[in-house]
Amino acid sequence: MFYREAGDFKTSYKSDQQTFPLKLDKILFWLTMAIAAFVIPFFLNEYWEKAIFLPFFIYALAAIGLNILTGYCGQVSLGTGGFMAVGAYASFKLMTGFPAMDMFLVIMIAGLVTAGVGVLFGLPSLRIKGFYLAVATLASQFFLVWLFNKWEWTYNYSATGQINSPERDFLGIVVTGAYTKPWATYLFCLGFLFLFAWIARNLVRGRIGRSWMAIRDMDIAAEIIGVNPLVAKMSAFAISSFFVGVAGALYFSVWLGAAEPTEAFSIDQSFDVLFMIIIGGLGSILGSLIGAAFIVLLPVLFKNVFVGLLGIPTDIAEFSQIILVGALIVFFLIKEPHGIVAYWRTLKGKLRLWPFPY
């Protein structure tokens, strides 16, 4: 009744290809954005900033990045943690080497560096496919973590091996370091997510997105229609790594403030982001967001409800979490490989017809 599209005819290709074909969708989206940008910052406290929103924005960015590579282009990567490290360490070197540089530039350049590294480690994909490639990406994961542990230049020869984020600003507002205001970091990360989600959307609905999906679905046929596999795969690696690098840079400089490679960028990170896109939905930007929200919020939920409310010991809560995530992965792969986003679309489909059943 409300969610109607009867009578809502598209009379131009432009309107047919909109991101939000249904008017109600569009209104809801902009309303959510308005609340996110103009309302929440006023009520934000540090807990919500550091425990909920920042990790969500950052992981959503990483998830979109990985989805481009794995969901859209079909190249499975278990090296996300390592690439986030590249972004983080690149931003660290830039912040310490060029103290006057604006943080926006720092983050973007860090992303660019990661894109380059991504292309390098993506080269094997030209010869290797499927889970052979997944295993090859493990090489990049372990190598990069080792590199940032051993190569002292990357952590400015510090005795602890840890990198710390100095205070830097964006257009004059402090966004890194110990004295940031919650609304500042919140809006900074939200801005990046909005910008990059928009870029991702534009890329996947056009020529380059189609070339990625063609490679994913049948790379032999993709060649027949003129897709150069090298260009398609390397562009997927480059752009995906750019996103992941930006996420990694924000992860370290804005959110954590300090990092050490083995813990912050371990293979668990790689799995976490992979789980986000499996649960949320492969090949979907909205799915990346949903998956990120899920994986970020689950431990918070467990901690507050199970431990806080029900008094269950923390280690049991932790084990249960691991079991739940693993079980959900298996569940989604069996029941709905397109993730939560598929359920969302089915729900919307039903809403369109409501109150009619079909």
Partner 1 sequence: MSDTNKMAVAESVSDRRFGEPIMEMKNITMRFGGVIAIQDISFDILQGEIRAIIGPNGAGKSSMLNVINGFYHPQEGEIWFGGEKRSPMKPYQIAYQGIARTFQNIALFKGMSTLDNIMTGRFTHMKTNIFSQVLWRGAAEKEEHENREIVEKVIDFLEIQSIRKTEVGKLPYGLQKRVELGRALAAEPKLLLLDEPMAGMNVEEKEDMSRFILDVNDEFGTTVALIEHDMGVVMDIADRVVVMDYGKKIGDDTPENILKNQAVIDAYLGVAND
Partner 2 sequence: MFFLVDPFFYEIVISGLLAGVMYALVALGFVLIFKASGIFNFAQGVLALFAALTLVGFQTGQIPFAHLLSVFGLHATHWGAGFPTVIALLFSLLVMIGLAWLIVQIVLKPLVNQEGIILFMATIGLAYVLEGVGDLMWGANVKMLDVGLPEGPSEFILDTTDMFIDKLEISAAVVAIVLVTVLTLFSAYTKMGRALRAVADDHQAALSVGISLETIWWIVWSVSGIVALVAGVMWGAKSGVQFSLSLIALKALPVLMLGGFTSIPGAIVGGLMIGLGEKLFEFYVGPMIGGATENWFAYMLALLFLLFRPQGLFGEKIIERV
Q: What residues make contact with partner 1 under the rule CB under 8 A? A: 13-14, 17, 199, 202-203, 205-208, 210-211, 213-214, 216-218, 220-229, 235, 283
Closest contact distance (angstroms) between CB of 136 and partner 2 is 5
In total, the chain counts a number of residues equal to: 358
φ and ψ at 169, to 5 degrees?
A: -130, 170
Closest contact distance (angstroms) between CB of 155 and partner 2 is 13
Kindly indicate which of the ranges 163-171, 186-194, 233-241, 320-328 contains the residues binding partner 2, using the contact rule CB under 8 A.
Answer: 320-328
**CB-side neighbour CA atoms (13 Å) of 39:** 7
Cβ contacts of 57 within 8 Å, gap of 6 or more:
189, 190, 192, 193, 250
CB of 208 or CB of 247, closer to partner 1: 208
Kindly indicate which of the ranges 14-22, 85-93, 121-129, 160-168 contains the residues binding partner 2, using the contact rule CB under 8 A.
Answer: 121-129
Residue 266 is a binding residue for partner 2 (CB under 8 A): no
Residue 34: CB atoms within 10 A of its CB come to: 10
Closest contact distance (angstroms) between CB of 325 and partner 1 is 25
φ and ψ at 133, to 5 degrees?
A: -65, -40
Pull the structure tokens for residue 213: 């999906």
Strand intervals (E) in the chain: 163-164, 169-170, 173-174, 258-259
From partner 1, partner 2, none, interface partner of 350 (C-beta below 5 to 8 A by class): none
- Cα angle for residues 108, 110, 114 (degrees, 5° grid): 115
Residue 267 is a binding residue for partner 2 (CB under 8 A): yes
Pull the structure tokens for residue 276: 């986000």
Peptide bond into 166 cis (omega under 30): no
Residue 313 is a binding residue for partner 2 (CB under 8 A): yes
SS3 7: coil
Q: Binding partner 2 by CB under 8 A: which of 30, 98, 319, 354?
A: 319
Looking at this protein, which amino acid is placed at residue 78? L
CB of 14 or CB of 127, closer to partner 2: 127
Closest contact distance (angstroms) between CB of 12 and partner 1 is 8
Closest contact distance (angstroms) between CB of 17 and partner 1 is 7
Residue 26: CB atoms within 10 A of its CB come to: 13
Closest contact distance (angstroms) between CB of 60 and partner 1 is 19
From partner 2, partner 1, none, interface partner of 266 (C-beta below 5 to 8 A by class): none
Q: Binding partner 2 by CB under 8 A: which of 3, 48, 104, 142?
A: 142
CB of 219 or CB of 260, closer to partner 1: 219
Task: State the Cα–Cα distance between residues 189 and 344, nearest whole angstrom.
Answer: 26
Looking at this protein, which amino acid is placed at residue 148? F
Closest contact distance (angstroms) between CB of 52 and partner 2 is 23
Closest contact distance (angstroms) between CB of 294 and partner 2 is 14
SS3 340: helix
CB of 17 or CB of 156, closer to partner 1: 17
Residue 342 is a binding residue for partner 2 (CB under 8 A): no
CB of 19 or CB of 32, closer to partner 1: 19
φ and ψ at 163, to 5 degrees?
A: -110, 140
Residue 278 is a binding residue for partner 2 (CB under 8 A): yes
CB of 34 or CB of 327, closer to partner 2: 327
CB of 8 or CB of 217, closer to partner 2: 217
User: How would you class 199 by CB atoms within 10 Å of its CB: exposed for 0-12, middle for 13-18, buried for 19 or more?
Assistant: middle
The closest of 65, 66, 67, 36 to 52, measured between CA atoms, is 36
Contacts to partner 2 by CB under 8 A:
76, 124, 127-128, 130-132, 134-136, 138-139, 142-143, 145-146, 149-151, 220, 267, 271, 274, 278, 312-313, 315-316, 319-323, 325-330, 333-334, 337
